[in-house]
Structure 1
């Protein structure tokens, strides 16, 4: 079977050595030695500063918004449910603005139109969908025009760069998920990269119950720290992550080359590097979608409609500024298998089944 996703497996010898350090020190959580090592190595590898490890990607979004005093936000309807549910769970007044039909990301023009109608929002929460960077310059222009904070959900964009600059350095904060299904993981976990040190310092207090540096209590916080065992997994996997991303990117490029003209594909940011996080395709006709999914399933190949439904429909009680593009893409986007354990021959097998199924189209 070719599975949709397969988590990276840590080398047990290396992992055991890292775990032994934890047992020897007796420091299992609360910003321990491995937490400090992983923070430093990730900052160096990703080319960022002010990186704060947290216990998962959902809390990363919530803590980022709390640190930036975002109590109301406009977000994308085309993303994993956690992008929106994390905001709603925290009581953030949330509205939806449409996406660009080509990139699948939050559209700066639509965002401008939305804010021109209703400027009563503190911030913007945008997702780099499938690891394809948003139009960060366009969003920055709109955010500056209306004086809004920007948080990027970069759960799919680990190690992605725009013109050699980490995508995590755009906006006021960028959040990462280190869930087991991601390109890089700590089983469960995440991180926030802040533009400003003061926001990082505030967030670090918030994830430790709001306890101040001197031990006194300040603003109420929460427990969102990443423990040492999970940091041990991260340190182990980080040793080999460069090769993993290179391999996944090669598979991704092969897919897109072979499927060009057969199915519709998102238009990728021209200045962006690749990380091979996901392989989305779009098929407008519902019957052809089902034919492809069925053909893949019959050949023991997993696929997934990702993302559906459009979140403005799932959370219809929230304000929407019109999300026709998102609704269209949510009804026809399918993700194909892509992970480090796959080979080029696996990709070609998937491609050939799709080509055979859709042969009447070309």
Structure 2
């Protein structure tokens, strides 16, 4: 238990943890079940090229997402690139795709990689989700598609975005990287727009070491995506499309299936962690857990807070430094908007105020199966002490930084 500034590790106190508490630790599931599946793959001598474990994984993801088709892939970035490059999206170099400011860089990179231009849109100031009203103002004759992002598993305003896309003849895709198991009202995320993309990276709630998937109810799109992931080979073994090598191998599928086995329990655990964090952080000035709309289900894979410097007495980045000294490896998701990244900063004077404010306040705290109640109480205690002494912590940090600079 820490009582004052002198107890904080940043200023010479003992760190709260002997081992790091990290954001995004892999949810491994039952290791014996994974090894059984790996032995199955080895016994079959079928390690890649659309093996039985891959097909089983696709079937289970499609069922969970409530769609007809799941096209598994080596990662979610390639999934977005394939959708942007699809014949239905169309477009010539320089044509535009609207993306939100608050997202992982891969969302915009996938657009730029295919020769189109990401047009960055501001977000809702509370949820951080793409703002449909601004989307409408950004549509031009060169716009080809909209990509919404279900940030932290929150569902976008999918119905309004679908209407905007339909009325303007645009493709609508959703980057649903963190949203497996989440819903919009009672409908699973996965079947909205023309297609959605899940990530199964090691840091996601379901991981396949590295992996992703396109999920859709569009039969023709799914057939094209299956061909593209396998060098363009279609029915009868004939190449009908420009393709790449984006297949999910059997080892990745084995891990994905094993992680899926644990999904229901993981979501229950995550929800309990979220509620405990809310209780422990209640009343700390300037620190607010991100709230999720009650009509939608969230997998609570991320424990997000905002830090208001004026009320907390210290900036988010300084609180991050305090926590990391305690071996609490929080993460600033996201510290820059897409419009502030060098490849997309075409207009240095352009401001997206809602995204910029959130980028200076957001912090992800450790959660997941490896984080328990005692951990959460210790993490919250460190935050409470730092904020209770915010002006002093800020002053000491500035003095230390000045000494180093001299």
TM-score of the aligned structures, taking structure 2 as reference length: 0.83
User: Any residues of structure 2 matched to 1:1-362 within 5 Å, and which?
Assistant: 1-67=20-86, 68-71=88-91, 72-115=96-139, 118-260=140-282, 262=284, 263-285=287-309, 287-314=314-341, 315-318=343-346, 322-359=351-388
**SS at 1:214's partner residue?**
helix
Q: CA deviation at 1:319?
A: 6.9
Tell me, which stretches of 5 or more residues in structure 2 are unaligned?
1-19, 391-406
**SS at 2:22's partner residue?**
coil
Does the aligned pair in 2 maintain the 1:175–1:191 contact within 8 Å? yes
Does the aligned pair in 2 maintain the 1:160–1:275 contact within 8 Å? yes
**SS at 2:190's partner residue?**
helix
- CA offsets 1:190-227 (integer angstroms, 9 cap, x no match): 11111311110111111111112122221211111101
Does the aligned pair in 2 maintain the 1:56–1:177 contact within 8 Å? yes
**SS at 1:51's partner residue?**
strand
Q: CA deviation at 1:63?
A: 1.4
Does the aligned pair in 2 maintain the 1:295–1:357 contact within 8 Å? yes
Give the count of matched residue pairs: 359
Larger Rg: 2
Does the aligned pair in 2 maintain the 1:119–1:146 contact within 8 Å? no
- Give the alignment's Cα RMSD to 1 decimal: 2.0
Does the aligned pair in 2 maintain the 1:291–1:357 contact within 8 Å? no
Per mean C-alpha deviation after superposition, the further-off stretch among 22-31 and 319-328 is 319-328
Per mean C-alpha deviation after superposition, the further-off stretch among 310-319 and 60-69 is 310-319
Distance 1:319 1:217 in 2: 42
Distance 2:272 2:171 in 1: 35
- CA offsets 1:303-346 (integer angstroms, 9 cap, x no match): 11111211101034457975221122112211111221111221
Q: CA deviation at 1:131?
A: 1.1
Q: CA deviation at 1:60?
A: 1.1
Does the aligned pair in 2 maintain the 1:97–1:111 contact within 8 Å? yes
Does the aligned pair in 2 maintain the 1:209–1:221 contact within 8 Å? yes
Does the aligned pair in 2 maintain the 1:288–1:358 contact within 8 Å? no
Per mean C-alpha deviation after superposition, the further-off stretch among 298-307 and 64-73 is 64-73
Distance 1:105 1:147 in 2: 22
**SS at 1:168's partner residue?**
coil
Q: CA deviation at 1:70?
A: 4.8
**SS at 2:143's partner residue?**
coil
